[in-house]
Structure 1
Amino acid sequence: MYAEINAPEAGGVLWTSTPAAPGLQRILPDGCLDLIWTGGELLVAGPDTTAVLVGAGPQRGTTVGLRFAPGTGPVVLGVPAHELRDRRVPLAALWPGADVRRLTERLTERAPERLTERLTERATERVADADAPGRLLRALAAARLDAPGPIRPDPIVPEVLAGLAAGEPVAACAARAGYSERQLHRRCQASFGYGLKTLARILRMNRSVGLARAGRPFAEIAATVGYADQAHLSREVRALAGVPLSALT
């Protein structure tokens, strides 16, 4: 079972996944970074360029993660997105080991009174045991978003995302932002993990999958989202997701 809720104070979406049976889950690229608590370990999933198959099963229990909005993960994690592209790394490889050990201890602690320990100036609320990992990850991300750090939010991110949502070509996005395409490419690498053209393909593919799951005809999706035709839609989805669009609905 998969569920998610918005976590705007943490810069993204909190999600939980509890597989009912062993198998593989197909994770589609989305231009985002995730901070994940699974199997007693904290991991960071970087922005993917193609779909990733992840082993899952009830023996691992519930996985809890924060999926940061595009451009937000580097601010929380303190690492440019392109350094994590197509990678899964332990959080301890990015942050001081002592900090990660303390956080891991808090995440594994079952006593409710320990979970009320003051984590940040903004997060001191009491939480139930079942909610503890998600609440603690949200508090951590919120605190790091508020605090000065090595990477700050890039002001061009909202404008770039708005341009892509409106179907603007890369050159138009760059011109409107006041940068050359090469300058914009470098900034997008740091914020999203890849250049604007790749990000545009990935966001368009995800929008197509969402429409397909809502029952829209594939030919209509192709026209709505901006593909040349249904064949173009099919090629792009297969290239990025590894399977036909019909397999994702």
Structure 2
Amino acid sequence: MMVAYLTPLLFLLGLIAMSVRVLPEYQRGVVFFLGRFQAVKGPGIVIVIPGVQQMVRVDLRIITLDVPSQDVISRDNVTVRVSAVLYFRVVDPQKAIIQVEDYYSATSQFAQTTLRSVLGKHDLDEMLSERDKLNADIQEIIDAQTDSWGIKVQNVEIKHVDLNESMVRAIARQAEAERERRAKVIHAEGEQQAAEKLVEAANIMAASPGALQLRYLQTMNDMSNKNASTIVFPLPMDIMDVFRPKT
């Protein structure tokens, strides 16, 4: 008699145990009733009737997607290999399960194609120096497309831009030539500034004959300090007025 009551009781307990699901705080459950969408449940304890209801777990945490290296031809016809990393999260579990078969794979494939198409519109110099702008452009395009999938793209970062050896040598020669150009420009600017100072000094001395005389004597003193056999006789500056043309 007890067996007759025990069997249904064990079946009921087993059914309850199979129906109880526990979802952590970072997960949600998309529940289907006889194949039709019913609700998004969780976190906590969720009752799912076996055979009648089905539940698909969805992780709401930020997912790090490593975009494989892509061969990109830049606008100036330079072939490079570019890799990136994509950070996204599911914000609408219902759309992420119903609207797309595999949101992770779909996001990865779309990120790869977007990376090639966006970088192909820029020169190599822009890829190397304007990464922040390129990251923002790629993020905007991917986020607009995946919004209908219930996906929010948090950030996109270009990791590596790999060049072949010949291009690396060409960039090195270009950088060396640029440094030489800057050195020559700096040297020319120094010569220009020195010439301007000499003109100013000459104007000051021309306005004050005493200053010119003192400079003349200082030069004579400098020459006499050197170990030389040359004998120098100071010549008064006023005697030069005799040879100057009179107006």
For normalisation by structure 2, the TM-score amounts to 0.21
Rg larger for: 2
Higher relative contact order (CA closer than 8 Å, sequence separation 6+): 1
Give the structure-1-normalised TM-score.
0.21
